[in-house]
Structure formats: C-alpha cells, structure tokens
A and B are shown apart, each in its own frame.
Chain A
Amino acid sequence: MDKRISAAAAVAQISDGMTVGIGGWGPRRKPMALVREILRSDLKDLTIVAYGGADVGMLCASGKVKKVIFAFVSLDFIPLEPYFRQARQNGDIEVMEVDEGMMLLGLRAAAWGLPFIPTEVGLGTDILTHNPDIKVIDSPYDDKEWVAMPALNLDVALIHADRADARGVCQIEGPDHYLDDWMARAAKNTIVSCEEVVETSYFQDPARARQVFWERSITDAVVEIPGGAHPTSCNPKYGFDVPHFKAYNASAKDGGFSAYAEQYLAATETEYQERVGGLDAIRALPLPVY
C-alpha cells in the first residue's frame, strides 16, 4: 500500500466544519506546511484541537476557525500567541478551554471508543463553569463526583514526523513525541507530513523502530515535506525560527496577518521556503536551550 500524496491532495480530504487535531506542542514540531496548505484553501468553520501555537493563531487570523479546543496557545518564548489573542479579544471564535491533561483524556477516550473518561481534573474551576457540555457525574464505586471528560473525536489529525515509509510507518526521532500518538489514534483520518520518506528497511534498526509510536494502520496519508515544521522546531533536525516568530508576532501590531501572509505564505511551499531563506537555512536553525 502506498499512502504518499501531495499536501494539496491531503488538504482536499478536509471539509468545511470538520474537527481537526494538530500535533506538536506550542512552537515545537507542528505540521506547519499542512497548516499553510489550509491557509491557501477555501476551508472554513473548522474546529481545531491542539496544544496550540502559531498553527492555531494563523488559522484563526485567516478566518478558517469556528471553534478552538485548547488548554493554551503559546509560542513559549513569546508567551501569548498574538493572533489567537486577537481572535479571543474580538470575540471571533467559540472555545472549549480545558486542562492539558483533560485534552489527553479526551483524545484517549476517542481513541478507545469511549464516550468519556472520568477524572478529578477540572473540579472546582471555571473549566466546568464555561463548558456546560462537560458533565460532572457520580461514581458507582465511591461517594465523590468526577468530571466526565468527553471524547474528542477528530475527523482529521495533522502531524509532522521525521521520517515515514510509503505505508505510513512514522518515526519521531526527537526527544518527545508529545501527544501525537493520541491525536493520530483519535482521528478518522491521520495525515502525516515528514522530513523524509524512507524505505521500509530503515526501521529494521530496533532503536529506530522504538521511535515509532503508532502502527501504520493508523496513518492514512504520508506527505513528504522537508522543512515542513518551519517556523516551529523539528528536533533534532532544526530549532524554531526565533527571528521569524518575532516578525510574525510584530505583524499582529503592524500590518496584520494579511501583511504576514503577503510577505511569506506564497502560492506553494517551495516558494514559502525560498522566502524564509531556503531549506538549508531552516535545517541550520539552532535548537533551543532551556
């Protein structure tokens, strides 16, 4: 089976109103080339589920989003994502704000075919006040009440990996696969962009096989896009692009997203990469130090 398709063909599988989970964490290993392909499309009214960064900000700024399910949206070294902030402060979007761990439980419930997973997380907070659809239930086994975190069923998951073979075996080589495995499992259709498509024999090395976090039946499409996480990081290959994020952040105050898009987005990913200095420059971005 050959699951390789183009970014445009992958995004053509997404329809208006769908719920789209996006892998990565903040400014780290986001499938940004796939996000940019959505920005170039006519898609609208999406519900986005993410440990959010510029992916969420850009989609909000370009009017693609009806609702965001989030625990945070942040660029880390720039704590507040400028366009998500604008969208919230303008009242442009619906939100379902949850705890980071509640999001994980929601994805697990979806992956396991459960309607909900009980947890104490969220009790006593405004997560419950502002999410009347998240129910608190009695337990059949004790006298406490518990939050019934509902399944976050995804129509599509978008993930960026280091390598994949044509059949959808995906490797995340960096130190953390974040919650990408749960995003993949929670989705009906998992689309994975990768730095490099490799032969299946690549995974014979057990150290590499250990870096595969879901089985290939979970992967529906593979899109080869070297540098496809830019301006987010793809550790160990490249760090996040600090000057680019600073320019992105500044654009929110001066010119707006249309000016940013005009300067960088371009009609194709090849052209985008030329505008940000080329693939070699992306691959040379230093890893962050914490």
Chain B
Amino acid sequence: MTAATEYSLAELCIVAAAEAFRDDGEKLATGIGVIPRLGASLAMKTFNPDLMMTDSEAFMLSEPNPLGDRGADFAQANESWMGFSRIFDNVWSGKRHAMLGPTQIDRFGQTNTSALGGTYQQPKVMMLGARGFPGNSICHRNSFFVPAHNDRVFIDGECDFVSSIGYNPARLPKGRALSDVDIHRVITNLCVMDFGGPDHQLRLLSLHPGVGVEEVLENTGFAIVVPDEVPTTAAPTEEQLAIIAALDPHNQRAYQIKDNPPGVRG
C-alpha cells in the first residue's frame, strides 16, 4: 500500500467516506451523491466485501456499478431484486448504513432536508421534503457528507425543520435512549467528525491536510469538541486511487467540491 502524494480533495473525502463503512459488516450501504456512493463502493471493493449495494434503481449488486454511462456491452452484477418497497423492509430491519448530504445539521445531529425560513405553512425556501430521513435516522446507522463546510450548514440553533432524529434530549421519545441514535461519521471538505464528544457533542476526528482547527471552528455555527491531538485525515493509497478511477470513469468526482481543489493544500 503506497500512500499517494497527488490526489484531489474529492478523492480524500471518498477514502474517508469508505472508512465510515469499514466496520459495517453485511449491511446495505447507500451513498447518495457521487462522493458517498464512491466511498461505499470503494469500501465494498476493498476492506468490506460483505457490504450490500443497489444499482440505485431496483436490483442489488454483487459488484458496485461504475458511475455514469457504462457502454452498451456492460452487464451489471445483479444478485437480487430490490425495488423501492423492499428498501423499507431493509430500513426498518436496521441492516443499512446511509450516507447523505442534508442542507442543515445542528449541534444535536438533527438535519433538515425540507424547508428553510418563513413559516411552515409558507417557507421561504421549499426543498426536497423529509424524504426517508425520519425513518433512516431512527432505524439504522447514518453518516453525513458536506461538500462545503460552513455555518449555514452547521447552524447555530436548531434546524428550521427537523427531518431526522438526533441527540436532542428534549425530543427523546419515551422508552428510548439517545444512544439508540447512530450518527457514525460527518465528513466535510475540511475534516472528519463524529458525535462522540461528551453528551453526544460533535467532535473533531481528523483534519484534512493543510486545514487548521481554527478554520473548522470558524465555519461551524456551534461549539465542537477538539481533542488535544487531532490527526491528519489519511491520504488515499495509489491502489485506492486506481479503484476510484475505475469506479468513476467519467470523473464525476471532479465536480463535487467547488473548484476541485487538491487534497493537500498548496
């Protein structure tokens, strides 16, 4: 395993995303968006071959599909039918780890995918809707990917609309524990975090090469836990970069983080 010296920030984030799926065992890995999907695919191709994955439509695959046009001769490696209705049976069983990109994340790990500002009857900005976030958040493990780490995503105060349950004692349902919620990793263009601080506070796990603690703190709308020693996010290996390139032959990863910066800041 040779650590690469030249790689993009997107590729660094893909490897960090893959790490999030390392210990999942036999779960459905759902990465929504290019970087989460490539992360889940890289994990399945390397250190966690037990992961399960779909074609984003209706079949489960034994090998992840490369992204985008795969040519007329390509035959995907179907292993079972997995239509949308069956996805819910999987979600409710808990055997899934989803990595998604919510619009807002608050200090409790609650997220918003639905509406911003105004009133609920007349929001200033209507977004997607709650989608599957309520179910995902209470039924199985989730991670978040944020391509632009700033205080409009990591907001001061509570989300305008809480789409997913987090570690908020005021919203804890009767008979349940905050530790039932499993937000595993939060990966951004600056760092990797988790909610492993005291009382489930957001905690810095690693900084991407060249990023300082101050920059993370300035761009986060609430206090986070910073350990005394914060390691640097592990660089991709040459082998990982080759697998990523094969999974993303049209280089969609180059368009996921603004200006596609290098992984090591110049």
Contact A179 B85 (CB under 8 A): yes
Instruction: Give the B interface residue count (CB, 8 A).
Output: 53
Residue A142 is within 8 A (CB to CB) of chain B in the complex: yes
Return chain A residues, CB-CB under 8 Å to B163: 125-126
In chain B, residues 108-162, which have Cβ atoms closer than 8 Å to a Cβ of chain A? 110, 114-115, 118-135, 137-139, 161-162
Contact A97 B92 (CB under 8 A): no
Return chain A residues, CB-CB under 8 Å to B65: 290
**Bound complex: CA A179 to CA B115 (Å):** 25
Contact with A along B52-93 (1 / 0, CB 8 A): 000111110000010011100000000001011100100110
Comparing B7-15, B43-51, B173-181, B186-194, the segment that makes contact with chain A is B173-181
Contact A102 B128 (CB under 8 A): no
Residue A238 is within 8 A (CB to CB) of chain B in the complex: no
Comparing A66-74, A187-195, A262-270, the segment that makes contact with chain B is A66-74
Residue A115 is within 8 A (CB to CB) of chain B in the complex: no
**Bound complex: CA A287 to CA B142 (Å):** 30
Taking the nearest CB of chain B, how far is it from the CB of A71, in angstroms?
5
Comparing B164-172, B201-209, B216-224, the segment that makes contact with chain A is B164-172
- Majority SS at the chain B contact face: loop
Taking the nearest CB of chain A, how far is it from the CB of B137, in angstroms?
8
Return chain A residues, CB-CB under 8 Å to B92: 101, 119, 121
Partner pick for A123 among B114, B119, B132, B165, CB 8 A cutoff: B165
Return chain A residues, CB-CB under 8 Å to B128: 72-74, 79-80
Contact B69 A289 (CB under 8 A): yes
Given A89-B122, A89-B125, A120 and B139 contact (CB-CB distance below 8 Å): yes
Return chain B residues, CB-CB under 8 Å to A254: none
Return chain B residues, CB-CB under 8 Å to A99: 130-135
Return chain A residues, CB-CB under 8 Å to B127: 80
Given A71-B130, A88-B123, A176-B84, A100 and B173 contact (CB-CB distance below 8 Å): no
Give the size range of A's interface with the partner: 35 or more
**Bound complex: CA A145 to CA B162 (Å):** 19
Return chain B residues, CB-CB under 8 Å to A104: 85, 88
Return chain A residues, CB-CB under 8 Å to B126: 80, 84-85, 88-89
Return chain B residues, CB-CB under 8 Å to A123: 134, 138, 165, 173, 176
Interface centre among B68, B126, B162 (most CB of A within 10 A): B126
Partner pick for B168 among A74, A124, A136, CB 8 A cutoff: A124
Contact A97 B84 (CB under 8 A): no
